[in-house]
Structure 1
């Protein structure tokens, strides 16, 4: 196991595979990992604790047996994880500035490669028992997980809700009052762009937003949009 303490890392965009790495109190600044055509970057057996990110993006990656505790956002941009898959990935503590997207930017990948990756992502999850554990994570700025099958996400059932496509079809979910929460936007991203039949929605944990987000999630449960748990 490679162990790092208090280091700052940069990466210039080349494909990358890492394993057996532990980093504590480290910073990732302008780290970019580009996609491999018809292939994958791979991060396995990675353990990160109390780390920060500034202007970082990972694309086309298999995350396997990864633990991330306390992620701090430096600057305004989220950490983008594009066209990637997750197996036994655990998020704990405050996770700030995270955006998980289904695909790479259209300007950076051919349509044939995009189709190949979508097919590979669906096949990957067909053999995964669980993908992501967020049951002990809090998201001050929010997070969306439409790129990950909701049934493969381990969650805190008291605050993190599961929504299925069939429930959206059976309800007039768009007509509900979401206030200023943006949870309806997260649901629409799932409905129009996800490869999967279920998604997990989470509240923002910042004190400014938390109660409003939780109230909307409870409303969705009462209205039959989210699982009652």
Structure 2
């Protein structure tokens, strides 16, 4: 894959790139650090702010966020962040996360938006994924990622390429088979995510680099044993 611009060991401070109708593409970032940098737009439910054909290797992000971004053909190989990186109302097409990945969470459209705009963003994201062909337009590949902490409930699980040993595909329509009140803590947290996602499947990931790896794995395995998860 060819990239037009390469940055290596660069530090970017307080760079704010706000607004839709742009494509940011063909960048290779190696051992770069972003501090207080934002890539966001808040008024385009079609997510016309696009990051495409980007390779990020061993990148660090501090106090930075992405909001309303469509990521396409992106590879992140090693990502460090001292706190959870929230990807608010973002969409993903052929995005690969691998190596050691710090805390990351895919979340709904920004809660500071007016209710009408939140609903419009959510509808746009659902439409984007409903048109996807899983064989071509998969959303995320996390099969080679080792997470410190992760929650991917705002991405449809059937579009996530995963390692089934530690990454579990949960199905909404199977919840009626089990007594939810009897579930262990991590199993209950996982299925509760269906209350805040529009998707009928999600992936629950056991974070290999977390102190609670064993407990989370047991909880998700419980869901697999009950037939809720694959």
* Shared fold per TM-score greater than 0.5: yes
Residue equivalent to 2:180:
173
Matches within 5 A, 1:1-229: 1-10=4-13, 11-15=15-19, 17-38=23-44, 39-40=46-47, 41-74=49-82, 77-105=83-111, 107=112, 109-128=113-132, 129=134, 130-140=138-148, 142-178=149-185, 182-188=186-192, 190-206=193-209, 208-227=211-230
- For residues 151 and 203 of structure 1, the distance between their equivalents in structure 2, rounded to whole angstroms, comes to 17
Say which is worse superposed, 42-51 or 212-221, in terms of deviation: 212-221
TM superposition shift of 1:207: 5.8
- For residues 163 and 223 of structure 1, the distance between their equivalents in structure 2, rounded to whole angstroms, comes to 11
TM superposition shift of 1:191: 1.5
- For residues 186 and 103 of structure 1, the distance between their equivalents in structure 2, rounded to whole angstroms, comes to 20
TM superposition shift of 1:54: 0.5
Gaps spanning 5+ residues in structure 2: where?
A: none
Contact 2:147 2:210 in 1 (8 A): no
- For residues 13 and 46 of structure 1, the distance between their equivalents in structure 2, rounded to whole angstroms, comes to 16
Gaps spanning 5+ residues in structure 1: where?
A: none
- For residues 127 and 151 of structure 1, the distance between their equivalents in structure 2, rounded to whole angstroms, comes to 13
- For residues 32 and 94 of structure 1, the distance between their equivalents in structure 2, rounded to whole angstroms, comes to 22
| TM-score, length basis structure 1 | 0.89
Deviation string, structure 1 residues 21-72 (Cα, Å, up to 9, x no partner): 0000000111122323125321000100001110111100100000001111
- For residues 39 and 181 of structure 2, the distance between their equivalents in structure 1, rounded to whole angstroms, comes to 37
Change (3 A) 1:152 1:14: same
User: What count of residue pairs does the alignment treat as equivalent?
Assistant: 218
